[in-house]
Structure formats: C-alpha cells, structure tokens
C-alpha cells in the first residue's frame, strides 16, 4: 500500500511539473531572432544622429583603420573614449564648428 501512495504522490508532482512546462512552452527557434549584419548596419545608418558617423566612415576618402585605431589601443579612459565618440557623432560642438558657421 505504501508503494501505491508513493507512486501516486510522485505522479501528482510529475503532473504538476509537466503542466508548468506545457504552460510556458513556446516554439523555440533562435535563428528566427538573428538579424543579419547588413540589416543592423542599415538601421544604424538610418538613425538621424548616430547614423551620420557610420555613413561617413563608409566614405572611400576615410582611412577606417587610422580613424578607429584609438579604440583598439586601450590607452584611453572610458570617459575619454565616450567623449571622442560623441565628437565623431557631432553631438559635442568643437572649436571648428562655430568658425564654420560664422564663415
């Protein structure tokens, strides 16, 4: 009789856990959520503020390795890197900007 009670109680616990799994079961397809790199770059370029930097980097006149070399050197503080990135995004006005607008 004890074996029957043990089987029934373990069966109830198993049924409860299976119900939980069934309730939260979804069709898992990780490849469906992966966005191709070209689409991500296109979304980046489409942004009015941050897209300017990406659009200019793609210009043939810009040496990309020299322009982004400071990122790989690791000699800068995080705040300095952020400040330089903001200047490249043209968020922070530099001394050149007022002179360009006055001319």
What's the pLDDT tens digit per position in 62-86? 888 887 887 788 788 888 888 887 7
SS3 track for the chain = CHHHHHHHHHHHHHHHHHHHHHHHCCCCCHHHHCCCHHHHHHHHHHCCCCHHHHHHHCCCCCCHHHHHHHHHHCCCCHHHHHHHHHHHCCCCCCCHHHHHHHC
pTM of the model as a whole: 0.42
How does pLDDT run across 16-29, given as a tens digit for each residue? 887 877 777 766 66
């Amino acid at each position: 009789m004890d074996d029957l009670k043990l089987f029934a109680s373990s069966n109830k616990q198993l049924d409860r856990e299976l119900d939980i799994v069934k309730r939260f079961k979804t069709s898992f397809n990780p490849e469906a959520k992966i966005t191709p790199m070209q689409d991500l770059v296109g979304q980046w370029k489409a942004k009015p503020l941050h897209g300017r930097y990406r659009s200019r980097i793609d210009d043939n006149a810009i040496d990309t390795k020299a322009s982004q070399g400071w990122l790989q050197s690791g000699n800068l503080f995080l705040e300095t890197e952020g400040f330089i990135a903001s200047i490249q995004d043209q968020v922070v006005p530099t001394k050149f900007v007022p002179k360009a607008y006055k001319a």
